[in-house]
Structure 1
């Protein structure tokens, strides 16, 4: 991540200034406590993954004049095909109502403009939906992103009928050329994140594991990919997503594969900074840890696939919204997201 230490501030008045972060260590001093306090089930390793694939200059931080600790942040995540995402927008509760959120927002939109971003989306909670509508964002008519969860260890266990048939082979994601993953995602979502699906920005993380269901191994083209998913460590347990698949049977197969890997040993091997679970016994982890996924209801089969494997509604939805109502073709009416997108990677970056 490039240093922005000598750049002029994006915003400055008598009390506050906004500038780009000088690196992930600086960003984490505010971002990670926010994630833990808000209960957003993110992981310690997520921040570089969120930021380093973006074409934008990085996370924007707001500081009181003379202060060393930021009190809010936001990021304009810009993808390879000029699609963008409003990311990680939080202001410390003690500093709200001072116009700082508006200043951060305007600095972020300037980043989008500078990068030539043509389509901008976000996933907003219900409480912020009206605020985003006033900023020109229009809710998708296709569906919401539903938070779903499941105990890490469930008495129901996993069903036996999760195989996708004799013509399909399950492989670890490292056996799939990563440019094919990006191409497959682009086909299903209209978002091109070539730099995300790389060793440097994701697969070198100690917690990231993934599987793909393929017609032949190794796959020679994007049509050889039937389904794939990734698990990552997060506060409270493990996060699964995305889940992309040709059909519900294939989606269920890769989801079950990931669920089997997200076990107590996986949790204990990957402690997170300042997480109470680090000191828990195996038995307590078995009782308390959960799996989290952000499931796309625009695909009519998605929730059913998760429910069949013991998942339930987590009590919250994100409202997928697009600036001026302009969504990628794949996430518009009749687009491939309606049958191929089961769970997203993360509401933080789309």
Structure 2
């Protein structure tokens, strides 16, 4: 490797290209991921140029400087194994550290074969987030009792939603959630009991089928009540859920619904692991932005 890499911020159109690379990697992005991710943090997207050509990229999302997340790390196949990815990854990590407040942690969901590499960069393993799949051949039958607590998330006060989300995510992400919950080709539902939010979930259409994310719930009963109508959104196609192994109730949910493990990532942190209500996390939001 003799050529010099230029590390720079991406343009909006280049994020579309990065999402296309992700699709080729089999990551199955959502139909509107590029626009939603860009709206969350336009400064997050970093490109690596070689002789004026973009050969790699990734995201370094900052949530108000309080928490960072590294995702979307891709080097084009023909440029792998030459040291370019190492330069890009370290540049991204260092740039993100500079974007965060002192003491803020950084998370990532890395493919298992890269776990040792990320550990050398200071990241410590927390748990595995596993992608599960099932095929929804018909919409689940709805019973009045089963769905009596389910409401469109738009009917829930945003302040109450934010309070709940902060128990499951390390920082305020109001800008992201406002866009994520109102995206096209998606369904966002909440579970209310006496007016109090006990959980919520979102399902969105992807290149292949649909993905649920996030799925946060007080307990297995609430998670099940949310899963059923969310899964119905995928009627006639595959459904995916990225569930954390450190929540036994989440593992029971995917088992009970006959979901099959198809992919997985190691959740790792640089800095202190955030204090979260892991028992409430039945499905992570995305592998790209946390």
Task: Determine if the TM-score, normalized by the shorter chain, exceeds 0.5.
Answer: yes
Give 2:83's aligned residue: 99
Shift of 1:197: 1.1
In 2, distance between residues paired with 1:159 and 1:190?
Answer: 36
Give 2:177's aligned residue: 197
Give 2:221's aligned residue: 249
Give 2:132's aligned residue: 148
Higher strand share: 2
Q: 1:208 to 1:111 in 2, by over 3 A?
A: farther
Structure 2 segments unaligned to the other structure (5+ residues): none
What are the residue-to-residue correspondences of 1:228-307 with 2, within 5 Å? 228-263=200-235, 286=236, 289-307=237-255
SS at match of 1:109: helix
- Provide the aligned C-alpha RMSD in A: 2.2
User: What is the aligned counterpart of 1:176 among 156, 160, 170?
Assistant: 156
User: What is the aligned counterpart of 1:27 among 1, 15, 33?
Assistant: 15
SS at match of 1:106: helix
User: What is the aligned counterpart of 2:5 among 16, 25, 31?
Assistant: 16
Q: 1:317 to 1:297 in 2, by over 3 A?
A: same
User: What is the aligned counterpart of 1:108 among 92, 115, 126?
Assistant: 92
Post-superposition CA distance 1:108-154 (Å, at most 9, x none): 123222222411011111111111111111111xx311111110316
In 2, distance between residues paired with 1:163 and 1:261?
Answer: 19
User: What is the aligned counterpart of 1:136 among 122, 133, 137?
Assistant: 122
In 1, distance between residues paired with 2:144 and 2:121?
Answer: 44
In 2, distance between residues paired with 1:162 and 1:294?
Answer: 28
SS at match of 1:236: coil
Give 2:198's aligned residue: 226
Q: Is the 8 A contact 2:29 2:207 kept in 1?
A: yes
Structure 1 segments unaligned to the other structure (5+ residues): 1-12, 264-285, 331-335
Shift of 1:162: 9.8
TM-score norm. by structure 2 comes to 0.91
Give 1:215's aligned residue: 193
Q: Is the 8 A contact 1:144 1:297 kept in 2?
A: yes
In 1, distance between residues paired with 2:6 and 2:110?
Answer: 26
Q: Is the 8 A contact 1:163 1:253 kept in 2?
A: no
In 1, distance between residues paired with 2:140 and 2:251?
Answer: 16
Shift of 1:37: 1.4
In 1, distance between residues paired with 2:82 and 2:159?
Answer: 44
Q: 1:163 to 1:107 in 2, by over 3 A?
A: farther
Q: Is the 8 A contact 1:18 1:62 kept in 2?
A: yes
Give 2:267's aligned residue: 320
Q: Is the 8 A contact 1:152 1:291 kept in 2?
A: yes
User: What is the aligned counterpart of 1:50 among 37, 51, 69?
Assistant: 37
